[in-house]
Structure 1
Amino acid sequence: MRKLRGSSVYLDPLFWLCVVIPTLCLVIYYGFIASDVYTSESRFVIRSPNQQSVSGIGLALRNIGFNASSDDSYLVRDYLTSRDAVQNLKDDLNVQEKYSADTVDVVSRFGVVGSPTFENFYEYFNKKIKVVYDPASSISSLQVEAYTAEDAQKINEELLKMSEVVINRINNNAKSDILVAAENEVKEAQEASRQAANSLAEYRVSNEVFNPEGQSTLLLQEISKLQDALIQTETQLTQARLLTPDNPQIKAMESRIQTLNKSIKEKSAQVTGPRDGSLSNRSVEFQRLQLEKELADKQLVSAMANYEQSKNEFNKKQLYLERLAQPSLPDEATKPTRFKNILSGFAFGLLAWGVLRLFVAGVREHRD
């Protein structure tokens, strides 16, 4: 009876349907049909001067000038799995043909099932790349699967180059956002300072005045001396008239007093006279122009300081993609794991056959 029961297993249609036939199909596919899959791996880190890293390897990287940035690493990872990256690969390496070549088995080949549209290839290709980020070391690993070792390495290398282009574009955008505005501010401040200096110089030339306040001070000093001389002469004249009315020096003193008064009036008119050419009137416009120049110079100094600060800020925000391991050229296939897949399929078939057999037996008992 046991022999008959054992032989009934091999005669059971469910056993053949769930176990024997699927296992034979797996043996045929993985043993004779399935294409070898090669994996190229590279490692890189995104570093930025203003980022800090405290892990062991991160500290070692920082000591040699590497500060890893986790946020920027995720940025690169998202780009590597983006449609732009896939489109660039299609344009540069024609990767779609590499994955739909006749040398690839029909099950793994792209385009056998469904239309060969870009969206379908995008979903297909994203299953062939893997970006793993290690938060402990801030190192990212890029793995690319292809059906030849050379293709896997080339695609990996091209993805790294495109990532470097993206990082450079981010740096250029940061430069445009941070530095260009500061440079324009410096240029505008330089132009304003130049115009203010020219206006002040033109005013000095056209009005024949260098510094009204300084010149007024000199004139006031001269007026003070003339007034002292006038007082002295008037005193001498008074004494002469009292003591020696016939003194011939009296006329000379009177003439000197007139000359002194005239000089005092002329010089006073130069300082505070009603004419537009007086130093007091010229001082108003001169001070305005001088104030404009001082303000323009201060703005220029402030703009230049802001530019230097912006340069430091830009240097802190610059990103660098540093390769720690170049894309490898695999010397053997990593997939498929043929024996493991066949064994897994066999085990799953046995499980499915056992479940279905219990289900059938329960239905029969229910009917009886």
Structure 2
Amino acid sequence: MTVEKVDTPNEVLSPRTVVSLAPGRAASGDTGTQVRPQTRRRRWLTLSFVFCVLLPITLGTLYYTLVASDRYVSGAGFAVRGLDGGGGIDVVGAFTGMASSGSTTSESYIVLKYLNSRDLLENIQTAFPFQEKYSASDVDFLSRLDPNLPIEDQVDYWNGVIATTFDSTSGIITFDVDAFQAKDAERMANLVLENTRALVNQLSESARRDSVRFAEAEVHRAEARLREVLQQVRTFRDQELSINPAASAQLQIELLASLKMQLVDLRSRIAALGRVDESSPAKINLQRKADALKAQIAEQTLGIAAPPGKENPDSPLTGLLATYEALEIEKTFAEQAYASALSSLEQARIDADRQQRYLAVYSYPSLPEDAIYPRRALNIFILSVVAISMWGIGVLVTYSVRDHIS
């Protein structure tokens, strides 16, 4: 390096540095240290763009255009409805997220869970070669199912096969099933719909049984009580040899009244013969008849009821009547309870039938004509945007950190 001093017109000397580089000699100092890092940064920036942007986009384009298998989609739409006229609209659930009692929202959420459950997958596998179809050799390696996976991983794979939606306002549920053959997609969708209908019917029948179970238990208890009372009445009649003790007592009372009327008549006739000699045959005959009636009346009276303060085991009519009347009262109550239980059971069955649930299908599975998945152009575009965005964010973060450190 040589430094020359050049005179200005005003003869004021100002030093000016003149840099001369010898041929084949590398630059040194500040200028040299600024060139090499910039070149290195450009090289790394280009390599990162190639590996982080161009390579993923190229691989993704090759996969979606040459490797990815076509997937056909078939599905259905339905809603859980009730015979009571209640639809899927649940105002409380729409604002609070909780299903109100009597609505079909809870059953709809159960159906949604069932569509992604292991139970549904196992039911489908019993009627459709699920593993064979989805692990075929002509399926691309990224979409292919490994047949050796445990059932939990197969359920995760199934959740990628089926897509569900639920509108909590209208109660409408839709699902789509994709397969690598059009007929397989239609068959799978039909199986899903059949199993869902069976689930709703099972839930409805279970709710119906639960609704009438208590009423049926009450009927059984009332029936058992009535049978027991009827058996007690039958046993009482067999032991006492009387079908209706009350009627027998009524006959005895009527007989006693007749005997008393006859005694009164005899006494009046004896009183009419009061001035006649006591040894008169007519008066003696009347007196004998009166005495016989008195003895018969006393006997009948003892047969109906014992004297106050005394127990007469030979005259059980009063006790029999008390026992029979208690049994009759118990029988009446048992019959009324049984009739009330039957009425409650009938009403419970009517209410259960009114609350029955069923699957209202408005869109049935159909045979797809074109494979709508994978959406190659859209997926390639999304991959490009994501790759460029991630690369740009990474470059910005790297430069920000470098500037902050320096």
Same fold, TM-score > 0.5, yes or no? yes
Aligned partner of residue 273 in structure 2, secondary structure: helix
For 1:336, the aligned partner's letter is: P
- Choose which of 148, 151, 155 in structure 2 pairs with 1:118: 151
Letter in 2 for 1:101: A
- 1:124-163, aligned counterparts within 5 Å? 124-163=157-196
State the identity as a percent: 27
Of 108, 131, 148, which aligns to 1:96? Answer: 131
Cα 1:362/1:293, change in 2 over 3 Å: closer
How far did 1:243 drift? Answer: 5.3
- Tell me which residue corresponds to 1:258: 291
Question: Aligned partner of 1:288: which letter?
Answer: A
| Equivalent residue letter for 2:384 | F
Cα pair 2:162 2:175 within 8 Å, conserved: yes
| Structure 1 contact 178–314 (Cα < 8 Å) conserved | yes
Pick aligned residue for 2:56 from 3, 19, 22: 22
Task: Tell me the amino acid that sits aligned with residue 164 of structure 2.
Answer: V
1:210-240 deviations in Å (ceiling 9; x for gaps): 3333433342233233223322321321231
Aligned mate of 1:52, from 86, 98, 115:
86
**Comparing 250-259 and 13-22, the one that deviates more:** 13-22
Specify the alignment match of 1:64 in structure 2.
none
**Among 223, 229, 233, which residue is 1:196 paired with?**
229
Question: What residue is the counterpart of 1:208 in the other structure?
Answer: 241
Gaps of 5+ in 1: 1-7, 56-66
- Kindly indicate whether the alpha-carbon contact (under 8 Å) linking 2:303 and 2:314 is maintained by their aligned counterparts in 1: no
Q: Is the 8 A contact 1:40 1:144 kept in 2?
A: yes
Query: Counterparts of 1:211 and 1:361 in 2: how far apart (Å)?
Result: 112
In 2 relative to 1, CA 150–367 (structure 1 residues): closer, same or farther, beyond 3 Å? same
Q: Which one of the candidate residues 312, 324, 334 is aligned to 2:372? A: 334
2:80 and 2:360 in contact (8 A); partners too: yes
Confirm whether residue 74 of structure 1 aligns to residue 109 of structure 2: yes
> 1:180: how far off?
4.4
Contact 1:68 1:138 survives alignment (8 Å): no
Write the distance in 1 (CA, Å) between the matches of 2:286 and 2:403: 155
TM-aligned CA deviation for residue 201 of structure 1: 3.2
Quote the offset at 1:12 in angstroms: 3.2
Residue deviations 1:182-225 (CA, integer Å, cap 9, x gap) = 43543453344234324323433442333333433342233233
Q: Distance in 1 between matches of 2:399 and 2:243?
A: 117
1:169 pairs, out of 169, 191, 202, with 202
Shift of residue 361 of structure 1? 6.1
- Per-residue CA deviation, residues 141-163 of structure 1 (Å, 9 max, x unaligned), is 11112222222222221122222
The answer to whether the 8 A contact 1:199-1:289 is kept is yes
**C-alpha spacing 1:247/1:162, structure 2 compared with 1 (3 Å):** same
Tell me how far apart the structure 2 counterparts of residues 326 and 180 of structure 1 sit (CA, whole Å).
36
Provide the aligned length of Structure 1 versus Structure 2: 347
For 1:267-326, what per-residue CA distance to the aligned partner results, in whole angstroms no more than 9, with x for missing partners?
A: 212211423453213213322332332232223213212321321232234221222221
**Could you tell me which amino acid in structure 2 is paired with residue 177 of structure 1?**
D
What is the Cα-based RMSD across aligned positions, in Å? 3.1
Structure holding more helix per residue? 1
Mapped contact 1:240–1:247 kept (Cα < 8 A): no
Superposition map of 1:297-336 within 5 A = 297-336=335-374
1:296 maps to what in 2? 334
Q: Which residue does the alignment assign to 2:3?
A: none
Taking the aligned partners of 2:50 and 2:378, their CA distance within structure 1 comes to 21
Q: What is the aligned partner in structure 1 of residue 142 from structure 2?
A: 107
Once the two structures are TM-superposed, the CA of residue 49 in structure 1 deviates from its matched residue by 2.9
Q: For the residues of structure 2 that align with 1:68 and 1:323, how far apart are their CA atoms? A: 18
SS in 1 for 2:76: strand
Q: Does 1:278 align with 2:278?
A: no
Separation in structure 1 between the aligned mates of residue 202 and residue 336 of structure 2, nearest angstrom = 35
SS state of the match for residue 175, structure 2? Answer: strand
Is 1:37 aligned to 2:75, yes or no?
no
Where does the alignment leave 5 or more consecutive residues of structure 2 unmatched? 1-41, 90-101, 307-311
Q: What is the CA deviation profile of residues 82-136 of structure 1, one whole-angstrom value per residue up to 9, with x for unaligned ones?
A: 1222222233323233222212111222239xx6222222112112212211223
Task: Report which structure shows greater RCO (CA 8 Å, sep ≥6).
Answer: 1
SS at match of 1:260: helix
The residue number in structure 2 matching 1:87 is 122
How far has the Cα of 1:355 moved from its partner? 4.2
